[in-house]
Chains A and B, each alone.
Chain A
Amino acid sequence: MNELMRKLLALPEQRSSVAFGIDVLHYVVISISLLGAVAVAATVALLLVRFRRRPGGIPGPRPRPMSVKAEGVALGGLLAMFLVFWIIGFRQYVHLRTPPANAMDVYVVGKQWMWTFAYPDGNATTSELVVPVGRPVRLLMTSRDVIHSFFIPQFRVKQDVLPGRTTTLWFEANKPGVYDIFCAEYCGTEHSMMRGRVIVLDDGAWAEWAQNQPHGDDLAAAGERVASERGCLRCHTVDGTRFIGPTWAGVYDSVVEMTDGARVRADAAYLTESMMDPDVRIHAGFAAIMPSYRGLLDAGDVAALVQYIRSLPAHPEPKAPLPKNPVRFP
């Protein structure tokens, strides 16, 4: 039944964990819509025939088909049905926007007119997103120029990709294969050529692929470079010492307390937000003086920094203490 409806409606194969559920809702909504429209048109046609004007008819009072109250009840039923669609659809939407905790991250950059992908272990690809089957994958996406949109029809997922911001999308592929990536937000002359492929590999093939990739500079090492070049280390230490900003040692995935008392897990999204919108949430005990790096760090830099921060041990070897008095040089 599912296959019949899917083919009839020209829907692509259901290759992600969410696709089937979304399609079932689709079948219901569209069938009701089509039936409704056909019912109205058929009723109109029937009435046009039944009550067509005949010559010599005597004008008289007209019969009424239903009371206004009955119409109200029917409309109430219709609204209730629409709201049921909305409730189910919204729950599915929330699921689509909530990546599982164990999702594998991949950084995506969209730019006119191509997609590039960076993996935490330093792999980088162009136009081809390689992922394992059966594991949730979270994409952290940004644009170098204008608004793009990342769309995988066979997974039923889509998310706009914005300049100056990181947006996320997650999916879990359910079958090895090759699937289309389309850019779905008009972005200029070659918009329709801004395509890519998702290559879903089974576990064996995935392990092999990950091994055989020419490893670029380990992303974490690249992150250390970025941190010193961009001035991060002027305020943040990596050895646990408290300084102008919070130390990075051991912060990744720890629970951080904010100035308003909220407790937040310092994951990749939190760290990214701290770089782009540092004023949104302030780590308790620190002043709100960090400048924003929006526009100054691109997605690759952010990815590298996050991996670097992640790589830092929580309790590193204590280093020599910082001098208390100013150091003078002869």
Chain B
Amino acid sequence: MTPESFWRDGRGIRGWLLTTDHKRVGILFFFGVTLSLVLGGVFALVLRLELLTPERTIVSASTYNQLFTHHGIVMVWMFMIPSIPAVFGNFFIPIMIGAKDVAFPKLNLASFYVYLLGAALTLTALIVGGVDTGWTFYAPYSTSTPTQVGWVVLGVFVLGVSTIMSGINFIVTIHTLRAKGITWSKLPLFVWNIYATSIIQVLATPILGLSLILVGIDHAWGLGLFEAKEGGDPVMFQHLFWFYSHPAVYIMILPGMGVITEVVCTFCHNPPLSYRLLVIASLGIAFVGFLTWGHHMFVAGMSTFDVGVFGALSMFVAIFSAIKVFTWTATLYGGRINVATPMLYFFGFSFLFVFGGMSGVAVATSSLDVHWHDTYFVVAHFHFIMVGGTLTAFLAAIHYWFPKITGRKYSEKWGLLSAVMVILGFFFTFMPQFLLGNAGMPRRYYSYPDRYQWLHVLSTAGASVLALGLIFVVIYLTAALIRGHRAGPNPWGSSAPEWRIPSPPPTHNFIAPPDPSHGPYDYNGKEHA
């Protein structure tokens, strides 16, 4: 008798709120991060509406300052960082390594509640008055502003704790629970990417915790560690903050890269050009990513020597991403490609991530960065990578694994339409921002000189299309949940391990133990049902 799907197995609402099934935890996180994406997106839309005119459009300057701060905080810590690992990592890592769950299922559930607590504290800050420091909390503004820094700092600290808990869980799971015969070199590359991400999470997040504690105590009570009057150095805060926040951007992109590898190999029915190079690239990004934080501080008052060193190291980290782009593109060659929605997202990714990454090489060129620093060029750069890279990968992941998780198929037509809207909408939102930055428009500006207006209008128009595309995604996927056609275990014909179990999976994942001789990229000469 086939076991129940994990959706049905369990006692009502308690079976969800007290679950220790990694798949259910993943679904819980899915709701959390999606709601966060919506909230962060609403803040962005209001921002973009305000920027339609050079002076006040719909909100005051102080509200605007709070909006961009809240947008950044919610997007970075409540959406981007948890999104792929806590949803898809949780759902699929145990399955991909042949385990029945993660190493510490109760810790997993706890990490969700800690996430909720952190989110609640952060949202409390928004409700009781808001914060206007920017998501980067630079001292001494952050330690002297009368806004609700205390609540936000506490909230983000707790969110950081949730991240560390997840990171520890994944590292231990991957080390200790691989099924018999599943060696490190037989793991799907998505697992390697989550592993690299988890290492960064465990090692970098404590520094964020420290920065937040120091700002929080200083704000409430007066510490003066970054206050010139007390002998402190405001640039020291920047070093501490970016030491975490630069690796954090790799926490945000590495899982997305893992998704892309899985999608490309499955839909092309081809193994990656070089498995080993992709592993080296992931670990390389994680390691070198810790050494480049100073490139956020080229005009902050750092020594010229430091500027040189950080610039050079930043060039190295770009090469690891280049390895991945090369490998993905080469994997298409000689494949038998199913151009379905996830592959459309890959196509968008291939332009947006590469241009975003190259704009990163550009800002690492110190003399150019003097002009671009703190302008819209940088805003465009990181949105190209974060949205054009990670969000696109997140959408690709949803569309790739939807049949496995829900046992249903969605409308390919709607998938195509929405992907086009998202990619084009994104492009027209952020491409003008590169030009705005070139033209000298600083970031975090409520009002601006008239001559920048046309680019802002174009950007806002693009944002509306992007938002609409995302709304469509929500609608047709919900419709598919209710009345989509049933999907079998392997609608894409993938060789990857998660496609050899039923759709949706049963609670303990496997009916028979996984077969280690069947690799995740075993396509040469074979077809998979």
A residues within 8 Å of B by Cβ?
9-12, 22, 25-26, 29-30, 32-34, 36-38, 40-41, 43-45, 47-48, 51-54, 57, 59-66, 68, 71, 74-75, 78-79, 82-83, 85-86, 88-97, 145-147, 149, 151, 153-154, 156-160, 162-165, 167, 180, 182-193, 292, 294-295
- Please tell me which one of the listed residues A44, A145, A160 contacts residue B347 in the complex, with CB atoms under 8 A apart: A44
* Contact yes or no, A156 B371, CB < 8 A: yes
Question: Cα distance A182–B134 when bound, in Å?
Answer: 18
B527: chain A residues within 8 A (beta carbon): 59
Given contacts A86-B364, A165-B301, 8 further A-B contacts (CB under 8 A): A44-B350, A48-B339, A51-B336, A63-B333, A71-B323, A85-B362, A184-B373, A186-B133
B355: chain A residues within 8 A (beta carbon): 33-34, 36-37
* Contact yes or no, A52 B141, CB < 8 A: no
A sample of 28 inter-chain contacts (CB < 8 A) reads A41-B347, A48-B339, A51-B268, A53-B336, A59-B269, A60-B525, A63-B333, A64-B330, A66-B273, A71-B323, A74-B326, A75-B322, A79-B319, A85-B364, A90-B311, A93-B307, A145-B144, A147-B141, A153-B371, A153-B440, A160-B300, A164-B228, A165-B228, A165-B233, A182-B442, A193-B447, A294-B228, A294-B231
A74: chain B residues within 8 A (beta carbon): 326
* Contact yes or no, A151 B442, CB < 8 A: yes
Question: Cα distance A302–B350 when bound, in Å?
Answer: 54
Question: Cα distance A191–B145 when bound, in Å?
Answer: 13
Question: Cα distance A161–B23 when bound, in Å?
Answer: 50
* Contact yes or no, A184 B351, CB < 8 A: no
* Contact yes or no, B370 A86, CB < 8 A: no
Q: A48-B343, A156-B370 are in contact. Are A62 and B270 (CB under 8 A)?
A: yes
* Contact yes or no, A53 B337, CB < 8 A: yes
Count the B residues whose beta carbon is within 8 Å of the partner chain — how many?
93
* Contact yes or no, A86 B351, CB < 8 A: no
B448: chain A residues within 8 A (beta carbon): 192
Question: Cα distance A64–B270 when bound, in Å?
Answer: 10
- 1/0 contact string of B273-314 vs chain A (CB within 8 Å): 110010000000000000000000011110010011001100
Q: Quick one: which of B353-384 are within 8 Å of A by CB?
A: 354-355, 358-359, 361-362, 364-371, 373-375
Q: A75-B322, A79-B315, A295-B229 are in contact. Are A189 and B132 (CB under 8 A)?
A: yes
Among listed B175-183, B185-193, B431-439, interface-contacting one: B431-439
- 1/0 contact string of B426-462 vs chain A (CB within 8 Å): 0000000001101110111111110000010000000
Query: Would you list the 4 A-B pairs with minimal beta carbon distance, nearest first?
Result: A164-B228, A153-B440, A33-B358, A92-B367
Question: Cα distance A157–B343 when bound, in Å?
Answer: 43
**Any chain A CB within 8 A of the CB of B411?**
no
**Any chain A CB within 8 A of the CB of B235?**
yes
**Any chain A CB within 8 A of the CB of B41?**
no
* Contact yes or no, A45 B347, CB < 8 A: yes
| Distance in Å: Cβ of B157 to nearest Cβ of chain A | 22
| Distance in Å: Cβ of A184 to nearest Cβ of chain B | 4
Q: A47-B332, A153-B439, A183-B442 are in contact. Are A93 and B228 (CB under 8 A)?
A: no
| Distance in Å: Cβ of B440 to nearest Cβ of chain A | 3
A43: chain B residues within 8 A (beta carbon): 329
* Contact yes or no, B370 A96, CB < 8 A: yes
* Contact yes or no, A92 B366, CB < 8 A: yes
**Any chain A CB within 8 A of the CB of B318?**
yes
B172: chain A residues within 8 A (beta carbon): none
* Contact yes or no, A295 B318, CB < 8 A: no
**Any chain A CB within 8 A of the CB of B335?**
yes
**Any chain A CB within 8 A of the CB of B506?**
no
* Contact yes or no, B132 A71, CB < 8 A: no
A25: chain B residues within 8 A (beta carbon): 365, 367-368
**Can you name the residue of chain A whose Cβ is closest to the Cβ of B352?**
A37
B439: chain A residues within 8 A (beta carbon): 10-12, 153
A60: chain B residues within 8 A (beta carbon): 525
* Contact yes or no, A163 B140, CB < 8 A: yes
Question: Cα distance A254–B280 when bound, in Å?
Answer: 56
* Contact yes or no, B371 A41, CB < 8 A: no
A294: chain B residues within 8 A (beta carbon): 228-229, 231
* Contact yes or no, B374 A37, CB < 8 A: no
* Contact yes or no, B368 A83, CB < 8 A: no
- 1/0 contact string of B198-239 vs chain A (CB within 8 Å): 000000000000000000000000000001110101110000
A189: chain B residues within 8 A (beta carbon): 61-62, 65, 132
B435: chain A residues within 8 A (beta carbon): 9-10
* Contact yes or no, A52 B299, CB < 8 A: no
A90: chain B residues within 8 A (beta carbon): 307-308, 311-312, 366-367
Q: A68-B273, A90-B307 are in contact. Are A33 and B359 (CB under 8 A)?
A: yes
Question: Cα distance A75–B134 when bound, in Å?
Answer: 37
| Distance in Å: Cβ of A53 to nearest Cβ of chain B | 4
* Contact yes or no, B525 A61, CB < 8 A: yes
Question: Cα distance A67–B141 when bound, in Å?
Answer: 53
* Contact yes or no, B141 A78, CB < 8 A: no
Question: Cα distance A40–B358 when bound, in Å?
Answer: 12
A295: chain B residues within 8 A (beta carbon): 228-229
| Distance in Å: Cβ of A106 to nearest Cβ of chain B | 19
* Contact yes or no, A66 B330, CB < 8 A: yes
* Contact yes or no, B446 A10, CB < 8 A: no
**Can you name the residue of chain A whose Cβ is closest to the Cβ of B318?**
A82
Question: Cα distance A234–B82 when bound, in Å?
Answer: 61
**Can you name the residue of chain A whose Cβ is closest to the Cβ of B302?**
A160
**Can you name the residue of chain A whose Cβ is closest to the Cβ of B271?**
A62
* Contact yes or no, A158 B315, CB < 8 A: no
Question: Cα distance A63–B436 when bound, in Å?
Answer: 45
**Can you name the residue of chain B whose Cβ is closest to the Cβ of A185?**
B374
- Please tell me which one of the listed residues B138, B367, B375, B449 contacts residue A89 in the complex, with CB atoms under 8 A apart: B367
* Contact yes or no, A75 B326, CB < 8 A: yes
* Contact yes or no, A71 B141, CB < 8 A: no
